[in-house]
Amino acid sequence: MEVAWIYLLMIAAGVSQTFAREDLQNMSFIFGKKGYVTVESDQEGEPLENVTLCLKHFSELMARQALFSYATKDQSKDIAIHMEAQEPYRWYNVYIGGADVSFRTPYSYLGWQSVCINWASETGVLTFWLNQKALSRKIVRKGYSIRAHTLVELGRAHKENIFFSGEIQDVYLWNYTVEARDMKSTEWKYIYPLPVVNWRNLEYEIQGNVALEYIV
Ligand SMILES: *[C@@H]1O[C@H](CO)[C@@H](O)[C@H](O)[C@H]1NC(C)=O
Ligand SMILES: *[C@@H]1O[C@H](CO)[C@@H](O)[C@H](O)[C@H]1NC(C)=O
Ligand SMILES: *[C@@H]1O[C@H](CO)[C@@H](O)[C@H](O)[C@H]1NC(C)=O
């Protein structure tokens, strides 16, 4: 059994609490070779039918990278975002329940890129937002429910040799559909009800080669 799952079980059983819980406002994780960060979600037993995920990344690597992974016991890509670039484009692969859709965007490595997704099980509609602008919507995994009891990882694809190089900040996961007008804002910290993964109150553990620093 993998160490991470043992952790999950220990936390579920209330045995230990080794994760830090902090407000990471104005900070970012800087990922070195094969480092990643595990994060706790506050989603309780309920499956997820509506989700919104936002984060910002800053990276110049063009090879395939993993930004965000939400793995459940039976599905290692219940929610995941990967990306790779080939100038002039960057492709984002967004996974729901193991199936993916991809979005083509202009490649840029100069500065933070803000990425959000909304997905609703009822319609399967997945909206991808890059820097507060929605791309044309796609449909994936209509009718699927995302399990709770998850392992969230930043900068690594669960059980795969795909990592991330660069910086990640402002990670938020809501267990409902955040309204479009809030998706067009950059101030995710004011969105209410609170997210189940909250950068302003993040329970996380650094795994290996990762530093947490104030943004420059
Ligand atoms: C974060 O940065 C903003 C803008 O520079 C500043 O107003 C705020 O006080 C900072 N917050 C923390 C916790 O450092
Ligand atoms: C969202 O998460 C909160 C906090 O864990 C929980 O109380 C609520 O029931 C969840 N909502 C859904 C739709 O799962
Ligand atoms: C998800 O959103 C749909 C449409 O707004 C709603 O009918 C449904 O109750 C929501 N599901 C949950 C678990 O909140």
Percentage of the chain with pLDDT > 70? Answer: 92
Beta strands 99-106; 89-96: pairing state: antiparallel
- Residue 10 confidence (pLDDT): 45
Ligand 1 center–CA 209 separation, angstroms = 26
pTM > 0.95: yes or no: no
Neighbours of 56 (CB within 10 A): 22
Ligand 3 center–CA 50 separation, angstroms = 6
Which pLDDT tens digit goes with each residue over 54-67? Answer: 999 999 999 999 99
Ligand 3 center–CA 47 separation, angstroms = 11
Q: Which protein residues touch ligand 3 with a CB less than 6 Å away?
A: 49-50, 120, 122
Please tell me the number of the ligand nearest to residue 46's CA.
Answer: 2
Q: Which of 4-8, 182-186, 197-201 has the highest mean pLDDT?
A: 197-201
Ligand 1 center–CA 185 separation, angstroms = 17
What is the arithmetic mean of pLDDT over 52-80? 97
What is the arithmetic mean of pLDDT over 160-176? 97
**Statement: residue 8 has pLDDT above 70:** no
Closest CA to ligand 1's atom 14: 26
Of 43, 45, 37, give the one whose Cα is nearest residue 19.
37
